[in-house]
Structure 1
Amino acid sequence: MLRAATLDDLRAIEALTAEAYAPYTHLFGRPPIPVTEDYAPRINRGEVFLREVQGELAGLAVVEGHADHMMLFSIAVSPRFQGAGHGLAILKWAEDTAFEWRLPEIRLYTNARMERNIALYRRFGFRETGRRENPRRPGWVIVDMAKKVGGPRYGRKE
């Protein structure tokens, strides 16, 4: 389960996001957009959810509810917790939450150079819907992806 973040969590959210995206910051030569995001307004809007393990922040999801879809802005897992299934658990939570919100689709976008993430999303049932130049970061390519809510989940053939 994930819980809604509060403003008291802001520093921990910023630290976890910077840690989780550090390999990409190194690869790109500058931080990915989730690292530079101002999370206070998102927390106030109820868009940031935290996954804790024995009282320690293991990961987070930032989601936006729209009329016809959920936008998954960011998933971040602390390096100390990576490889233990927390990213998949957060994806499952997002799908279950979209279903509860009666939204038929989850959408996300990621950097084309984040190949490991793209592969994970594909295994979870996301499909690529297009590629485009990043308007905020010239030279960066965005991969748009979407998944129908209730579709096949990671590791399950349907």
Structure 2
Amino acid sequence: MDSDDMRLATAGDLAVVGDLVNSAYGHYVARIGRKPGPMLDDHAARIAAGWTHLLERGGAVLGLVVLIPQPDALLVENVAVSPRAQGLGLGRRLMEFAEKRARAAGLTRLRLYTHVAMVENQAIYARLGYAETRRVHEAGLHRIYMEKPLA
């Protein structure tokens, strides 16, 4: 990989985080019929909690992952890659970062959710070893929860 740096987002990154999420998820609005969950999230609160991690390359923020600790897992609440950087393996890099964080915390699984209409994401997660655990309707969205055990 080119020199990628991971760092925690700060309050000063709020606008960059919002722009990145909106650009990464904007194309789903027509498919879902409304903004996807990540576009509605309280990014300031997630940054303040220390959950938002940024991936930078050459000083530019190209991706992010929001990781929320749970008692039995690390929840990958959001993975976003700038459209201009998609296809470069950054999403995989963010997911590998999540695995390292979970292992470092002594957790044995990763958990995530995605919208039922985001079929390409479901396929990516399945290739990365995630399996569907349940389907729910929450926050006005139809979500699929998936988990990956960590060996």
TM-score range, shorter chain: over 0.9
Superposed CA deviations along residues 103-137 of structure 1, whole A, max 9, x for unmatched, are 111101111110000000000000111112x2321
Is it true that 1:20 corresponds to 2:24 in the alignment?
A: yes
For structure 2, the residue ranges without an aligned partner over 5 or more in a row are: none
Question: SS at the partner of 1:103?
Answer: coil
Matched, 1:61 2:62: no
The gaps in structure 1 that reach 5 residues or longer are: 151-158
Q: Which residue of 1 aligns with 2:117?
A: 113
The normalised TM-score by structure 1 is: 0.90
Partners of 2:138 and 2:72 in 1: CA distance = 24
1:146 paired with 2:150, answer no
Distance 2:139 2:94 in 1: 27
RMSD (CA atoms): 1.0
Q: Do structure 1's residue 46 and structure 2's residue 47 form an aligned pair?
A: no
Q: Matched residues in 2 for 1:135 and 1:101: separation?
A: 28
User: Offset of 1:100 from its aligned partner?
Assistant: 0.6
Question: What is the CA distance between 1:36 and its match in structure 2?
Answer: 1.0
SS of aligned partner of 1:83? coil
Q: CA deviation at 1:26?
A: 2.3
Cα distance in 1, alignment partners of residues 142 and 36 from structure 2: 12
Say yes or no: does 1:31 pair with 2:35.
yes
Q: Does 1:136 align with 2:148?
A: no
Bigger fraction of residues in strand: 2
| Aligned-pair identity (%) | 36
Number of the residue aligned with 2:81: 77
Question: TM-score with structure 2 length normalisation?
Answer: 0.94
Query: Which aligned segments of 4 or more residues in structure 1 are displaced greater than 3 angstroms?
Result: none
Paired residues, number? 147
